[in-house]
Structure 1
Amino acid sequence: MGFTHIDCFSGPGGICTGLHAAGFETKVAIEFIKSCVDTYSKNHPEVHVIHSDIRNVSKEQILPFIPKGGIDLVTSGMPCETFSTAGNTSRSFYDDRQFLFREGIRIAEIVNAKLILFENVPAITTKTVSKDSNELIVSVLKEELKEAGYGNLKEFVLCATDFGVPQTRKRFFILASKNPTTELSAPTPTCKKTVTVQDAFAGLKNVIPNSNQEETEYSNSSSMFEKLMRDDDFWRRTNPQPDKVTYQMPMKHRACTLKRFELLNPGDSLKDLFDRYEGAEREELQKQRILPKKMFIKRNYRLVSSEPSPTVTSHCLDEFVHPKYNRALTVRECARLQSFPDSYDFCGGPYITPHLHNNIQDKYEQIGDAVPPLLAYAWGIKINEILENYK
């Protein structure tokens, strides 16, 4: 049996998927969003998933599933919208979610965890507890870890690109140990060659917008990354249809949206179109609804085939345009950019406006909010080494 794990704020299972590939056994997952719970349970049926606000989860709900002696690792990737620099964060910046890290600590104490791994956006390191305070949230987090007996801790910022993920996603981590003498360190970068968008989309056929024709067969193109996404032995998963593609489904686009996509060069976004077209020319494009009345900075970015993707977010349906074709990305293409294996199944509705529904997420939102499984795998390999020397 491998080392044991509890997954707080589990989302659709990105962390669990990576840790499972590294040999961990996840005992309990806690998640508030029902569609994420459904996705997690479908892909990890061996895990006891608690569908609840973590603040309401009691020790009686957890302890029956915990081995004697406690848990080896608790991961806590609390919601990051509060700390993100994307868009206007002032609306929710100082809400009560910023202190949800306390729940990860509370769960770790209940199960006598040896290690805790916190994950969030790098911007959390600059956020204060209130508008009128200079005290950083991270300082409060570290102080409360020390009070709970996890004073041996280290901070890291890692880029997913360094671990084989085809996107430039950066994440902040705190790794804390209950043993004051345990030597803590981050995973060593494993990727010698950057994985590109072209590598990520290898094997996936194009789909035609508005056609209702899903592609279920792989193409002849291939890459090392594509082979890894289909390697069920690596992921320790079973796939009843390994030769079938899932979620390579066409999306609905208005004619004016398709015309807008035609104007985008690789690396262009909606902002570039606003800069390129001015005066009467822009007004005419707006009249035809090819350009919207307002400019959204992070929208309609055409990916560059030879580069990794920018950070995939819960808004990825609107944010990205395929590097070659005039359409948004499919669910499977977004999952590839996040390094979810091709056998991964996603529950939930297809399209919902992100974050307007507190207890619902569509497939795109789930994927965008997840921790990339390959990044979690790298942590799993490193934490395996740490736990083997834990005394």
Structure 2
Amino acid sequence: MLNFIDLFCGAGGFAKGFEMTGKFKCIGGIDNKESAIQTHKLNFKNSISICDDIRNVPPEDFNVLLNGQKVDVVIGGPPCPTFSTIGHAKIQSVYKNQEEKDITNDPRNDLFLDFLNYVDFFRPKIFVMENVPQFLTKYNGATFEAVKAIIERDLPEYEIVEKVKVLNSVNYGVPQNRRRMILVGYQKGYKFKYPEITNWFKNGKFNIDPNNDNPDTSKLKKHISVEDAISDLPQITDNWRISEVEYSRHEELNSFQKLMRKDTGISVKNNICRMSNKRAKEVFSHMKQGDIYMDLAPEIRQILPFREDIFKDRLKRLVNENPSWTVLAHIGMDGYMYIHPTEDRTLSVREAARIQSFPDDFEFIGNQQDTYVQVGNAVPPLMAMKIGESVYECLNTIKK
């Protein structure tokens, strides 16, 4: 079993995926959100899970808390350093001035340097950093080049995977289109290969095979749909307040449902569902699957008016036969972008967690908004599991 630590861990979707391989154990996590850390502590019994700003916890102190356990892998998703309002010229200055590491005027945005500081201290065999796809393209690629330059300068014993890729979770059996940049660095002598895709969404805009520009889709499994993901979950209503409820059925489960329920009994937790106001529910009743706000007739939109030049898709009803669009942390605000395919309500916390591919034994701690946000901020565990399998394979290659 290989040990890893989880930086900017949130509830632990990335870590859960690594543990689902059966090859890795999470021994430590850190995040500055109290409810997320309570969730992390509950679900990772072997982890020292710390609620603090990583800037307040130098790796030397973290190592003391780990009682000197060896760290084989470091994973995490630090905020991108240059997605604030700074200009391109400021970024360019980063690698012109080798003494200057602050590549943004906002110190909260250089947290990736703290991530690399942990890598520098623990010297893991491999580290995995995830972020939004724009990490590679922001400011014509200057963001990525700045990060790459710092890694090459300060961590010379590590190589970065030759071509950093953006993965789509739908291609790894997750019922959701969610694209994430995955940057992998490993000690020289190892060789990393991105995980082979297993699923294909025929109508998908963002189907991506990181290893093949022209995959033979006939050999791939069909995508997992919203209906595949949630149709066996408990029958609930708008404003549902009971967390643990029995499943709606126990027979004729599909492979995804069986995987999600592998370690649960007849019931599941986190079925809390927010209450939508009367006007919203009336508008929901006029929406077909796939409809967005601007598909509605003007008189219907006036029931729940928004600025139509900005909020064209302020409301969106999911489609049973398709994967979901990306579940974002904004689901914690009102959920209008995630209207149930067939019911006039938004998704429950557990339904959103299923769409993120969290197994049903993974319990979220916190109030309603906290738990929704934890789900929306997470890396889908099934995609993380595939990444973990590739990491394990990399670490079993023979070093030069």
TM, length-normalised to structure 2: 0.82
Matched residues in 2 for 1:4 and 1:111: separation? 12
- Write the mapping of 1:285-300 to structure 2, written as runs, cut at 5 A: 286=302, 289-292=303-306, 296-300=311-315
Matched residues in 1 for 2:180 and 2:371: separation? 22
Does the aligned pair in 2 maintain the 1:258–1:327 contact within 8 Å?
A: yes
Give structure 2 stretches of 5+ with no counterpart. 88-103, 200-220
Alignment of 1:223 with 2:254, yes or no, is yes
What is the match of residue 210 of structure 2?
Answer: none
- Write the mapping of 1:350-389 to structure 2, written as runs, cut at 5 A: 350-351=368-369, 362-389=370-397
SS in 1 for 2:271: coil
Does the aligned pair in 1 maintain the 2:356–2:381 contact within 8 Å?
A: yes
* Distance apart, 1:51 and its partner CA: 1.4
What is the match of residue 129 of structure 2?
Answer: 118
* Distance apart, 1:255 and its partner CA: 1.3
What is the match of residue 285 of structure 2?
Answer: 262
Matched residues in 2 for 1:65 and 1:211: separation? 40
Paired residues, number? 352
What is the match of residue 146 of structure 2?
Answer: 140
Alignment of 1:336 with 2:354, yes or no, is yes
Alignment of 1:109 with 2:113, yes or no, is no
What is the match of residue 218 of structure 2?
Answer: none
| Residues 87-126 of structure 1: CA deviation (Å, up to 9, x unaligned) | xx75999733432111111001111111111100101212
Cα 1:365–1:185 shift into 2, 3 Å = same
Matched residues in 1 for 2:76 and 2:244: separation? 36
- Write the mapping of 1:103-252 to structure 2, written as runs, cut at 5 A: 103-128=114-139, 136-147=142-153, 148-154=155-161, 155-179=164-188, 181-191=189-199, 192-210=221-239, 212=241, 216-220=245-249, 222-232=253-263, 239=264, 242-252=265-275
SS in 1 for 2:113: helix
Q: Which amino acid aligns with 1:387?
A: L
Q: Which amino acid aligns with 2:171?
A: D
Q: Which amino acid aligns with 2:355?
A: L
Cα 1:267–1:103 shift into 2, 3 Å = same
| Residues 160-208 of structure 1: CA deviation (Å, up to 9, x unaligned) | 01111000101101111122x3212111112322000000002113322
SS in 2 for 1:79: coil
* Distance apart, 1:151 and its partner CA: 4.3
Matched residues in 1 for 2:56 and 2:27: separation? 19
Q: Which amino acid aligns with 2:44?
A: H
TM, length-normalised to structure 1: 0.83
Cα 1:46–1:57 shift into 2, 3 Å = same
SS in 2 for 1:204: coil
* Distance apart, 1:82 and its partner CA: 7.2
What is the match of residue 356 of structure 1?
Answer: none
Matched residues in 1 for 2:234 and 2:390: separation? 36
What is the match of residue 20 of structure 2?
Answer: 21
Does the aligned pair in 2 maintain the 1:30–1:50 contact within 8 Å?
A: yes
What is the match of residue 322 of structure 2?
Answer: 307
Matched residues in 1 for 2:393 and 2:224: separation? 26
Cα 1:227–1:48 shift into 2, 3 Å = same
What is the match of residue 131 of structure 1?
Answer: none
What is the match of residue 271 of structure 1?
Answer: 294
Matched residues in 1 for 2:367 and 2:169: separation? 28
Matched residues in 2 for 1:13 and 1:313: separation? 15
Q: Which amino acid aligns with 2:123?
A: N
* Distance apart, 1:159 and its partner CA: 0.7
Give structure 1 stretches of 5+ with no counterpart. 84-88, 129-133, 233-238, 352-361
What is the match of residue 94 of structure 2?
Answer: none
Does the aligned pair in 2 maintain the 1:82–1:94 contact within 8 Å?
A: no
Matched residues in 1 for 2:82 and 2:119: separation? 23
SS in 2 for 1:247: coil
Cα 1:135–1:209 shift into 2, 3 Å = closer
* Distance apart, 1:45 and its partner CA: 2.1
Matched residues in 2 for 1:49 and 1:205: separation? 31
Does the aligned pair in 2 maintain the 1:149–1:178 contact within 8 Å?
A: no
Matched residues in 2 for 1:230 and 1:72: separation? 30
| Residues 274-311 of structure 1: CA deviation (Å, up to 9, x unaligned) | xx42xxx36xx52xx33345552443210000000001
Cα 1:293–1:183 shift into 2, 3 Å = closer
> Percent same amino acid at aligned positions?
32
* Distance apart, 1:66 and its partner CA: 5.2
SS in 2 for 1:136: helix
Matched residues in 2 for 1:312 and 1:54: separation? 26
Matched residues in 2 for 1:91 and 1:206: separation? 48
Matched residues in 2 for 1:81 and 1:182: separation? 28
